[in-house]
Structure 1
């Protein structure tokens, strides 16, 4: 049931009243709240929430109140019902993605627009959408865990806001294209969204580790499989879902002086959340990469230790062939991070995740002067823009060589140029 809570300032004075409840009234429902200046209004709104079955009252927009005279829309055109039909009827998408869309709508869109009329130019206009985006910008969400196990809370990232806004926009586009049209235009087109590169330094989730820090962290793992996993992940830059899907059959010409690794499968989840081995989702993710002798040695040790068949997984849980759950490895990773900090092998301010080995792999390549196009192909990014957005800021680390070249040309000295080999896939 909804309840009213007085909010006080540091002096103990009541400044406002907040109505709190869980969406739908279930324990797992998303936490919802609305704030009022006076207790009477809060009590009236609380009753309205209870009457609506622990949902936002029909016609109410968070932070603005009832924005239309009518308090109810035809059920078929309430945004909650309309959006569910749109997502359920979409073709050409994986069931896992369909479920993710429903989850995003429940968490971030329905609390504001769920009971609104999809046809209304008052419910859905430039002003209401901008106010909603502003709320998302002020929202703090859980982004993993700290090494001590406490939740890591950070502002919602610009990329996440863009994705959620894009989902709302795609549904309103369906209303515009409906026959007959339910709307004349899509108000989401009027929204100025936060730029992905607007996130400040404090919002940066990436933690780059030096080779020395990686080596020190590796030494703090107690299981040999985990140590070798660090070697392979840092040495290849593979995603966790790709890394834990590797098997001996993925190796190409291991006995040659140019061993390679074929990345053709990854762990995926079906509509029910069950894991299965499938192909990476994009064409560029299905790739073949060169590996160093240290990576090859690590893989061969894993194969020999477990007497793996060609299709046997290198990295497993307690049972042979069992998928190594990320949470299982992440717990061991956090323990290793704490040990590394206690031994002075990792700075106290760094709180890396396993995925940061992929970022650190890139940092090592770019710092040595390897171009972004090579990094893109090695990581399996679909677009060079993704690579540039994530790692373009690392390029100044290669500025020393560039400055030497420029200074030499300005001084009339012919600069020494490095030979460039033709890249092969």
Structure 2
């Protein structure tokens, strides 16, 4: 049920009325709210929320009100819900799981505000309507992980997620601009100032935990299953992604130049129907060949590298099916808790299995290996991704920079570098 709450100032005077409800009406739904100057208006809006099954009423823009005018039956194809759904369903060159994700994001985050608007309307789609929508996203709490007691961890929506949602809306309006004949003269999303992805405490990367080799070893020792221990050893020793790791089989290991190498040519991928299949990694850079260390090779041998059929997966569920991230995640979180209790992992660190990939990169960079090498080993499409994520870890950068500045300030000749 939605509720109307009077808001008072410090003197006890009522200054406004706020309608609050959980999205979808469920206990786990995200809290939503809208503020009104008078109680009757708040009550009318409350009734509209309940009539819309505890969603934002169609055509309502937070902080502005209804912007939707009547669209005639003959113009239903220009209703944003209809138009956007058709655009995404007809889009080529994308995987089905991404198409499904776009449709889900439209339904959850964009249609509640713009679903019943006319894609041609400069009143419905303008900087004056898109800015309040972005602001609403900035104040929305979403689930991001879990607490030790199993309850969800609620945090503000990250700038990266907001940019992705804004990009989805912008892409659809761009289609309207480029339509033949054009449905719009311009894309108002181009005027939106979006939150920075590096704002403190807001970026998706804020929760990256870089583990030291000793901390990784401590977690490995706390894992109960030998197969889990070997999995973490390989994950940390190669830096491969979860979907790549769990698709590994003996056929992925080759002999080359007197060394065994790992060919990353397969990964688990969503099929868009709730299932998974083994296909190619997501980008050309992701398809790579990695030299492996003796410890990683020994772990693979222990798992059956030299005795299993070539296509037999190293890591599976109890019945030989794809190993779910959540299944291993439960084992991982128990080991992390034990490592903290044993004192081998600091209390303030809360690593995830994906942090093994970050820690692999950190170990290479801290030893002086260049970002280009790390980029190729991790399979990043762009070195910018590698630099943005790990560039601050470069050990020699500050020393070299300070030496350059000191020499320039003291009038010394710059030191020549050897290129041999």
Between the aligned partners of 1:294 and 1:388, the Cα distance in structure 2 is 28
1:271 aligns with: 272
1:241-320 to 2 correspondences below 5 Å: 241-253=243-255, 257-303=258-304, 307-319=307-319
Residues in 1 aligned to 2:8 and 2:209: alpha-carbon distance in whole angstroms? 37
| Residue of structure 2 in register with 1:44 after alignment | 44
Equivalent residue number for residue 4 of structure 1: 3
Partner of 2:228: 226
- For structure 1, the 5+ residue unaligned runs are 420-425
Structure 1 residues 90 and 400, CA gap change in structure 2 (3 angstroms): closer
TM-score between both structures, scaled by the size of structure 2: 0.88
Within a 5 Å distance, the mapping from 1:128-139 to structure 2 comes to: 128-139=129-140
More displaced stretch, 308-317 vs 375-384: 308-317
Match of 1:367 in 2: 366
Secondary structure of the residue aligned to 2:313 is: coil
Classify 1:413/1:197 alpha carbon distance in 2 versus 1 (closer, same or farther; 3 Å).
Answer: closer
CA contact (8 A) 1:20 1:34 kept: no
Aligned residues: 412
In the TM superposition, what is the alpha-carbon distance from 1:57 to its structure 2 partner? 3.6
Matched, 1:183 2:184: yes
Following the alignment from structure 1 to structure 2, what is the Cα–Cα distance between the partners of residues 13 and 194? 34
Q: How does 1:60-139 map to 2 (within 5 A)?
A: 60-67=60-67, 70-72=69-71, 74-139=75-140
Between 1:9-18 and 1:336-345, the stretch displaced more is 9-18
CA distance in 2, matches of 1:136, 1:201: 13
Looking at structure 2, the residues matched to 10 and 330 of structure 1 have their Cα atoms a distance apart, in angstroms, of 46
Flag the 1:353–1:124 CA change in 2: closer, same or farther, 3 A. Answer: same
Give ranges in structure 2 of 5+ residues lacking alignment. none
Alpha-carbon RMSD across the aligned residues, in angstroms, is: 3.0
Equivalent residue for 1:423? none
* Structure 1, 3-12 or 230-239: larger mean CA deviation: 3-12
* DSSP-derived class of the 1:81 partner: helix
Structure 2: distance between partners of 1:71 and 1:19: 27
Whether 1:198 and 2:214 are equivalent positions in the alignment is no
Partner of 2:334: 335
- Whether 1:211 aligns to 2:213 is yes
Measured at CA, do residues 238 and 304 of structure 1 come closer, stay the same or move farther in structure 2, by a change above 3 Å? closer
Cα distance per residue 1:5-61 (max 9 Å; x no partner):
3255698986523153645x7899876543333331122123334555655444321
8 Å contact 2:62–2:136 — kept in the other structure? Answer: no
| Alignment partner, residue 174 of structure 1 | 175
Paired residues of 1:18 and 1:34 also in contact (CA < 8 A): yes
For the residues of structure 2 that align with 1:237 and 1:415, how far apart are their CA atoms? 35
Report the 3-state secondary structure (helix = DSSP H, G, I; strand = E; otherwise coil) of the residue aligned with 2:278: strand
Shift of 1:184: 0.8
Take 2:330 and 2:165, find their aligned partners in 1: how far apart are those partners? Answer: 30
- Judged with a 3 Å threshold, the aligned counterparts in structure 2 of structure 1 residues 110 and 9 are, in CA distance, closer, same or farther, namely same
TM-score (norm 1): 0.87
Query: 1:195, CA displacement in angstroms?
Result: 2.7
Aligned partner of residue 259 in structure 1, secondary structure: strand
Corresponding residue of 2:400: 402
